[in-house]
């Protein structure tokens, strides 16, 4: 057996403000659109992105993320849609007051009729395996949501999910035009043997 180092760089972009954000609602899996403010945010972000350092863009399948990805990257990069990057499903709390959505209480316990953060972790880890398979040595831009970013912080920085929630930039409004992460793994691969035995 042979071992190969796999390395993928990620630049994480969050979608622009939505119509739900204006009403202090947590969208979850509700498929809301960007507000006028969110449209402007994503168009303005286009001026801050270094397109040359990005090989491919992958966005959540929820409309607010797809809109943001198109506003930022359309005409510049191939955009792939992947539902594993969806926001956490808040179940009964989808579209309800944001104060009801407390990640700290739902790391292991699912939201009523929804997901837990461990469920989000499972699909984000599966997504990372896809990145290792398809984009070794590449830089991938992701356009997605809060929960997948928290899980990515947990995975790449070797911190607990609790720490990632506590350090979430949203608590201090410390937005930035992209967060950079690096994914590493050592994957076992089979050696290809080109030797042929010849019998005399």
**Catalytic pick from 15, 106, 145, 154?**
15
* Residues 43 and 71 sit within 8 Å (Cβ to Cβ): yes
Active-site residue, 7 included: no
Active-site residue, 23 included: no
List C-alpha distances in Å: 15 to 12, 64, 106, 192: 10, 6, 23, 44
**Catalytic pick from 7, 53, 87, 106?**
87
* Residues 10 and 58 sit within 8 Å (Cβ to Cβ): no
Give one DSSP letter per residue of 127-169, joined into a string: HHHHHHHH-TT-EEEEEE-HHHHHHHHHHHHT--HHHHHHT-G
Q: Which residues are catalytic?
A: 15, 87
């Amino acid at each position: 057996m042979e071992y190969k180092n796999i390395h993928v760089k990620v630049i994480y972009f969050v979608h622009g403000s939505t119509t739900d954000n204006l009403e202090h609602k947590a969208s979850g899996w509700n498929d809301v659109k960007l507000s006028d403010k969110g449209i402007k945010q994503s168009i303005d972000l286009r001026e801050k992105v270094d397109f040359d350092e990005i090989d491919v863009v992958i966005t959540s399948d929820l409309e607010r993320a797809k809109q943001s990805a198109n506003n930022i990257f359309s005409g510049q990069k191939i955009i792939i849609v992947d539902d594993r990057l969806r926001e956490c499903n808040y179940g009964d709390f989808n579209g309800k007051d944001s104060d009801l959505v407390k990640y700290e209480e739902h790391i292991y316990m699912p939201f009523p009729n929804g997901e837990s953060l461990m469920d989000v972790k499972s699909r984000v880890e599966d997504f990372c395996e896809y990145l290792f398979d398809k984009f070794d040595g590449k830089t991938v831009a992701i356009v997605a949501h809060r929960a997948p970013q928290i899980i990515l912080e947990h995975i790449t920085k070797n911190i607990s999910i609790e720490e990632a929630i506590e350090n979430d930039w949203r608590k201090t409004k410390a937005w930035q035009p992209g967060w950079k992460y690096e994914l590493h793994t050592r994957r076992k691969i089979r050696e290809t043997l080109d030797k042929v035995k010849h019998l005399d």
